[in-house]
């Protein structure tokens, strides 16, 4: 039966949702509570301050919505912009496409900069648009930090430098769903106006929290934005922040306790150590792919992602068969190729609460799958390349921040 997976525990290596640590599962295993009691506001106050740390901001205002990354996208757009506002948005993969679709359906004037899939954002095209926009008709730049469909990571600081160079006041709105808490993210230093993430990615929580952080400039923009919004309205949250109850409607109590436990794990390891761990795992995966004689979908070293690797397969192989065989025979979950790269790539997610041995187990499974479907692989080549690298790079020692 096609829908049955193999026996044993599932080995989850999609680029989100990711594995949930035991301590987070235990923290969420609790009954409902009255969110108007003193306990939940007290916890929320500390949570909001700690959430600012994962964005690396001291000036930003965080909002925690019971939603997904898609809801967080909508919150970022509708609170800062008005219908008809001109947005420059980069199309580099499936998730940037989905955000662009949302922008159009919300009636913004979307100026799309296209890149071939596997390439990063075309900053030369952005520079040309900024140089020509002396009337400052562009109100926002929307960019996906890490495109999980192709394994491409964009340089956000370069976007800020371009805006500063042309003295352009446009807001920078960033999808950090598969980057924040795994890749270095510096909201204040890079001048990001709105950043967002989802709980099911590097935070290693279940799906259900969309976390948004807004700069003072974005908060000011929300005062004049004419987009319709109710559920995602920052102003409702700000009113409840001011009176100290924090929630304009019922929060997900269990997920808040899970978020507390997830943040504690990240801070115990140390954010810089977390980023270093993801760099090691990303590099090890790419070395394995190279040892197999396969190519990374990402076309330049400067864009490689440390949270997901999109592996290109030869033309005679359907990458969907790799994913199907992984799940059916080995209980290993890999990511499908999406849209323009469907059938051409499979994706290995290496983000969240993950260690060296878990990754090596995944890579061993991929080798068996490739052998199963007729790819001429020598067992152990990719695992050896990854293990050798991991063995010879010393992980940073965890320390509290």
Q: Decide: residue 171, CB within 10 A, 0-12 exposed, 13-18 middle, 19+ buried.
A: buried
For the record, the structure tokens of 105 come out as 């359906």
| 185 phi-psi bin (left φ>0, alpha ψ -120 to 50, beta other) | beta
Is residue 279 part of an annotated ligand binding site? no
247 close to 35: Cβ distance less than 8 angstroms: yes
Residues 265-279: b if buried by 16+ CB within 10 A, e if exposed: bbbebbbebbbbbbe
Cα-based distances in Å from 318 to 32, 323, 324, 344: 46, 9, 10, 6
Residue 277 sits at φ, ψ, to 5 deg, of -60, -45
CA dist., res. 153 & res. 270, Å (int): 22
Q: What is the dihedral of CA 199, 200, 206, 208, to 10 degrees?
A: 50
Please write down the long-range contacts of 23-27, taking CB distance under 8 Å and 24 or more positions apart: 23/261, 23/264, 23/265, 24/204, 24/205, 24/258, 24/261, 24/262, 24/265, 25/258, 26/261, 27/257, 27/258, 27/260, 27/261
Host H or E run for residue 158:
helix 156-165
CA dist., res. 246 & res. 95, Å (int): 31
User: Is the torsion defined by CA of 374, 375, 380, 383 positive or negative?
Assistant: negative
Tokens 């990303």 label which residue?
282
Q: What is the dihedral of CA 372, 376, 382, 383, to 10 degrees?
A: 40
- Residues that constitute the known binding site for substrate: 347
- Residues that constitute the known binding site: 347
């Amino acid at each position: 039966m096609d829908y049955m997976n193999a026996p044993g525990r599932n080995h989850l290596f999609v680029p989100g949702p990711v594995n949930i640590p035991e301590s987070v599962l235990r923290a969420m295993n609790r009954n409902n509570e009255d969110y108007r009691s003193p306990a939940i506001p007290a916890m929320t106050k500390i949570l909001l301050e700690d959430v600012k740390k994962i964005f690396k901001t001291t000036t930003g205002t965080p909002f925690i919505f019971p939603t997904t990354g898609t809801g967080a996208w909508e919150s970022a757009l509708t609170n800062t912009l008005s219908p008809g506002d001109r947005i420059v948005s980069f199309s580099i993969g499936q998730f940037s496409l989905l955000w662009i679709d949302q922008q159009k359906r919300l009636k913004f004037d979307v100026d799309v900069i296209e890149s071939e899939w596997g390439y990063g954002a075309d900053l030369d095209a952005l520079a040309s648009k900024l140089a020509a926009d002396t009337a400052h008709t562009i109100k926002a730049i929307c960019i996906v930090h890490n495109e999980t469909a192709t394994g491409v990571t964009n340089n956000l600081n370069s976007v800020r430098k371009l805006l500063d160079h042309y003295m352009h006041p446009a807001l920078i709105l960033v999808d950090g769903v598969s980057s924040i808490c795994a890749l270095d993210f510096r909201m204040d230093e890079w001048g990001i106006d709105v950043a967002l993430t989802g709980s099911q990615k590097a935070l290693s929580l279940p799906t259900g929290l969309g976390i948004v952080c807004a700069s003072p400039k974005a908060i000011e923009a929300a005062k004049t934005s004419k987009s319709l919004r109710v559920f995602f309205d920052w102003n409702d949250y700000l009113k409840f922040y001011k009176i100290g109850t924090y929630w304009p409607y019922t929060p997900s109590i269990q997920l808040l306790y899970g978020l507390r436990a997830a943040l504690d794990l990240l801070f115990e390891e140390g954010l810089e150590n977390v980023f270093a761990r993801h760099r090691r795992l990303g590099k090890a995966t790419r070395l394995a792919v190279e040892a197999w004689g396969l190519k990374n979908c990402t076309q330049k070293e400067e864009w490689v992602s440390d949270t997901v690797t999109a592996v290109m397969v030869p033309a005679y192989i359907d990458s969907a068969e790799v994913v199907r065989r992984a799940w059916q025979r080995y209980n290993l979950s890999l990511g499908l190729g999406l849209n323009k790269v469907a059938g051409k790539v499979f994706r290995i997610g290496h983000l969240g609460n993950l260690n060296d041995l878990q990754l090596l187990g995944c890579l061993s499974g991929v080798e068996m799958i490739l052998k199963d479907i007729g790819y001429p692989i020598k067992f152990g080549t990719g695992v050896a390349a990854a293990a050798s690298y991991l063995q010879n790079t010393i992980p940073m020692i965890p320390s509290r921040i």
